[in-house]
Chain A
Amino acid sequence: MINLAGRDVGNHLGRYVLTGVGLGLLIGVTLTMAGVYRGMVDDAKVLLRAVHADVWVVQQDTLGPFAEPSSLQDDVYRSLLGLPGVAEAGNVAYLTMQVKHDGKDMRVMIAGYTPGSLGGPAFLVAGRPIAQSHYEAVADVKTGLAVGDRIRIRRHEFAVVGLTRRMVSSGGDPMVFIPLKDAQEAQFLKDNESIVNDRQRLAVNPAVNRPGQPGVLQAVEAIQTASHRVNAVLVRVREGFDARQVADHIQRWKHLTAYTTSDMEDVLVAKLIATAAKQIALFLVILAIVSAAIVAFIIYTMTMGKIKEIAVLKLIGTRDRTIAAMILQEALGLGVIGFFVGKFAATLWVPVFPKHVLLETTDAVAAFAITLVICSLASVLAIRAALNIDPAEAISG
């Protein structure tokens, strides 16, 4: 038996392939959407893994530091070091802000950490780690910065001494690592006007500004302007201890909330990007429905264009099965062309996206299966119509 679908397609190959390409672009968009979601999840996880902490300690009853604000006293880490199972503890401060480079603003996530302790970049692709306790920075390559560049964060200039990669916030902003003290200053430092304002208020407060005791005013001013707060304390667990147990222990004794890395992953994926994920999921569903409708429409139109031929095929004794197979194969063929075009298109345009887009093979395999299922379902309408064609249509006159 001849493959009727193959012959029919071969007869107007150009049109068929073009249709497949059109469908492919749609599938490409779908794959990209899925990739955007995977990229978001991946960014969140990469950030957590790269930080190399086993336990994240944050302000009590918060989902901090990324999903909710969290503020801790910066000496908390000392008391954590005394707990069993804690090998290392380091303060970190995170803030998303605009920094200036070459007169241009760029949006980054500043990560402040104590050089030499936890919370720094996992690895460098250029330059060296931060060595001084002030005004040095390590930036993600996505910032476009190079070693030796100077950036302005608030009132201070920082020298970029090293570059790292794949360190972005869950919002997609590239990270810039700086010493903790600088980050604290950038985060909690008041601007000049409010400092002046506060000073004046203190100066006229008789409880603080006592005659003959000038030192009291100065001490209070110093407390108000200096910052001693951080967003989280990262903990590395001693060999042989379980992160879960250490986290529970910290939580029980220290009036803090402690997450293991996998808890944090859940927080980021389930809470922080949950809405975005729903948005994307809905978009994917709509795309799937639109694709299905388009395939159904195309296949239906293609079939209706062959009414005479199908009537003749029936007249000369072709089985319904054979006719249905022809239509189904043409539909699946469109799906296959569409899938590969879509995959190719997605690979082409993904690098242009500003955020990390992760095209996973498992997603592609699933998309392929779904495409084939959609094409099969979409051909049902056309097959039904074809089977209803009266062979008498072939004889007119």
Chain B
Amino acid sequence: MVDPMPPQRPAILIENLTKRYGSGPTAVDALKGVDMQIFPGEVVGLIGPSGSGKTTLLKCLGAVIEPTSGRFTLAGDVIYDNAWKRKDLRALRRDRIGFVFQAPYLIPFLNATDNVALLPMLAGVDNAVARKTAVDMLTALDVQHRAHARVSELSGGEQQRVAIARALANKPPIILADEPTAPLDSERALGVVRILHRLAHEFQTAIIVVTHDEKIIPTFKRIYQIRDGRTYEEAGEGREV
């Protein structure tokens, strides 16, 4: 599979982003100046030692916590420029960002389909249409046979695939994945990464994958190393999965 040349406008553009937790002598500078750009359809690896600020960066991009300074844009829209430039961050998250975490965090009182359908429903989509979208997503992730199962009845890998389906349900231009393969065996981990690559290609989604997993690091064409709060770009192997 050969990716097309990255188009001109990056899906995510981060310039000199910093994040300081707390203040005074106990303050932690988790991000000290991050620069990144990720283009639509691209899957980028984000690697670094524990405590280097990977999760912090995803939280900032996901508008879950407020950065301290710097600037980032999503598809050309300035989201943060030393201050939030958007008022409704929840709607921003709902419509433009998909989250995949290490633990899938599905809503236990909804079945697999409704966990996925909830996102379009929150965006105001009619229930039936939202469920159809959900089933399509579950089919794309090959868990459609578990569509009506309760969360507690799904295996870890199935839960993770449902979580990815949820992240994709509103076709967000960006997916932020924080160690999505950590709880999976290497076979399934590769399976999930294959899905992410395929979806990036299919929907032109920009995907950042935080990982420690030696097996999947070689699948990225581009990798950002994060060390001591700063990012360093590296070329990846871009190995076929």
Contacts and interface: CB of A to CB of B under 8 A. Distances in A.
Contacts of B94: 316-318
Interface in A378-397: 391-392, 394-397
B190 interface: no
A2 B107 CA distance: 13
22 contacts: A1-B127, A2-B121, A10-B109, A11-B108, A11-B150, A312-B105, A313-B107, A316-B122, A317-B93, A317-B94, A317-B122, A318-B90, A318-B118, A319-B122, A322-B122, A391-B64, A392-B59, A392-B64, A394-B99, A395-B55, A395-B59, A396-B55
Contacts of B90: 314, 317-319
Contacts of A2: 110, 114, 117-118, 121, 127
Interface of B: 55, 58-59, 62, 64-65, 90-91, 93-95, 99, 101-103, 105-110, 114, 117-119, 121-123, 127, 150, 166, 178-179
Nearest to A10: B109
Given A309-B105, A318-B90, A395-B62, 13 more contacts: A2-B114, A11-B109, A309-B108, A314-B90, A315-B62, A315-B99, A316-B166, A317-B119, A317-B123, A391-B64, A394-B105, A397-B101, A397-B178
Given A10-B109, A309-B107, A316 B99 contact: yes
Contacts of B99: 315-316, 394-395
A388 B65 CA distance: 14
Interface of A: 1-2, 4, 7-8, 10-11, 308-309, 312-319, 322, 391-392, 394-397
A312 B163 CA distance: 11
B152 to A, nearest CB: 9
Nearest to A11: B109
Contact of B118 (A8, A316, A396): A316
Residue of A315, A316, A394, A397 with highest tally of chain B CB at under 10 A = A316
Contacts of A7: 109-110, 114
Contacts of A314: 90
B109 A8 contact: yes
A7 B118 CA distance: 12
The 3 closest A-B pairs by CB, nearest first: A317-B94, A11-B109, A8-B109
A304 to B, nearest CB: 15
Residue of A8, A392, A397 with highest tally of chain B CB at under 10 A = A397
A1 B131 CA distance: 11
B124 to A, nearest CB: 8
Contacts of A394: 64, 99, 101, 105
B114 A397 contact: no
Given A308-B105, A312-B107, A1 B122 contact: yes
Contacts of B55: 395-397
Contacts of A1: 121-122, 127
Contacts of B127: 1-2
Contacts of A318: 90, 94, 118, 122
Nearest to A314: B90
A397 B59 contact: no
Contacts of A396: 55
B64 A315 contact: yes
B207 to A, nearest CB: 16
Contact of A316 (B59, B93, B108, B109): B93
A317 B95 contact: yes
Nearest to A391: B64
Contacts of B179: 397
A309 B121 CA distance: 17
Given A2-B114, A314-B90, A316-B99, A395 B64 contact: yes
A127 to B, nearest CB: 65
Contacts of B91: 317
